[in-house]
Amino acid sequence: MNVNVFKIPQRSPDDLTGLETLIQQGTIDPATIVAIMGKTEGNGCVNDFTRGFAVQTLKFYLQAKTSIEQAKTVIYVMSGGTEGVLSPHLTVFTRENDSAEGDRRWGLVLGVHHTRNFLPNEIGTLTMIHVVAAGVKTAIAQAGLTPEHVHFVQIKCPLMTADRLDNSPIPDSYKSMAYSRAASALGVAVALGEIDPEHLTDADICHNYALYSSVASTSAGVELQNCEILVLGNARDSTSDFVIGHGVMQHALDIDAVKQAIASTGSPDRIINVFAKAEADPSGKILDRRHTMLDDSDISHTRMARAVVGAVVASVVQDPMVYVSGGSEHQGPAGGGPIAVIA
């Protein structure tokens, strides 16, 4: 498997000039695109339509370049919110089959999967966990990976708008984002053997934060009703020039974890992009100091957390064009989150 990764700046959610240039130059064959992750400049909350706008623009563009069927197979993960210094951009993943003579090396491989659509009463439940776990296992097998060599699992998951809440046990649309992210993350943990599914209950979701995945990154959006799964890891028979490593931030200011994740790639001077999760510590404290992110009624705590972690990561790599997603329920320890680096 030959995987390539391209980081492309954007002037707006519908700006594809950078992608178009790479395609015109022959650097990217649009038929080989399997996943696109993006940071868009909306609020990252329920009514952030920059995510759907970006996905719609990409789908129409790729349909014209390839086909409607091919464009539907791509994983689209748009994460809203570029608070602070975060800079809007796309990360494009391509995948090609190797030739028999390819030079094999320890390098990046990937797998993808689209789950079925979820009913409103399934979002944020054990059913969602089990469906996601099965999808993650499928993507791992597609990539030719073993669980111990998985470094990052990115999932785009659904949320519920007010008109769908009548059929859901979740009280409001904003909380549906957290429950959807949480169940998706626990699905990753189950698939990778990080937790025992036999002891999981619905009551654990968004409550028992001792249960988490160290490699899951989940992002909820109104633009889909299923989960789109991207699994990234390293394998010995790759022909990719890229490699991925990861770490786990214990708190929002954990610079050491950022540095360790970078070092784990073995190529600290050749970073392509950094992918991190961020949340306001539910204890109300960071490093034993009180924070007020959870008490602010004007600005969502997920937006504040993105700004903090974005600044921390950008200060280490000296590049504000990094992917930081807010809301890390069951994604790393409470108040922290996984961080992955591609070099």
Q: Write out pLDDT tens, residues 280-299.
A: 999 999 999 999 999 998 99
In CATH terms, the superfamily for domain 243-342 is: Cyanuric acid hydrolase/Barbituras, RU C (3.30.1330.160)
Q: How far apart are CA 229 and CA 202, in angstroms?
A: 22
**Rounded to two decimals, what is the model's pTM?**
0.96
Query: According to the model, what pLDDT value does residue 199 have?
Result: 87
In CATH terms, the superfamily for domain 1-97 is: Cyanuric acid hydrolase/Barbiturase, RU A (3.30.1330.170)
Whether residue 101 has pLDDT greater than 70: no
- Are 104-241 and 243-342 the same fold in CATH? yes
What amino acid positions are annotated as catalytic residues?
A: 156, 219
Q: Does domain 104-241 bear CATH number 3.30.540.10?
A: no
Task: Render pLDDT for 222-255 as a digit per residue (tens, 0 to 9).
Answer: 999 999 999 999 999 999 999 999 999 999 999 9
Query: According to the model, what pLDDT value does residue 169 have?
Result: 78
Task: Render pLDDT for 269-281 as a digit per residue (tens, 0 to 9).
Answer: 999 999 999 999 9
Tell me the backbone φ, ψ of residue 320, rounded to 5 degrees. Answer: -80, -5
Q: Where are the domains of the chain?
A: 1-97, 104-241, 243-342
Task: Render pLDDT for 110-156 as a digit per residue (tens, 0 to 9).
Answer: 999 999 999 999 999 999 999 999 999 999 999 999 999 999 999 99
Whether residue 99 has pLDDT greater than 80: no
Check: CB of residue 60 under 8 Å from CB of residue 14: no
Query: According to the model, what pLDDT value does residue 103 have?
Result: 81
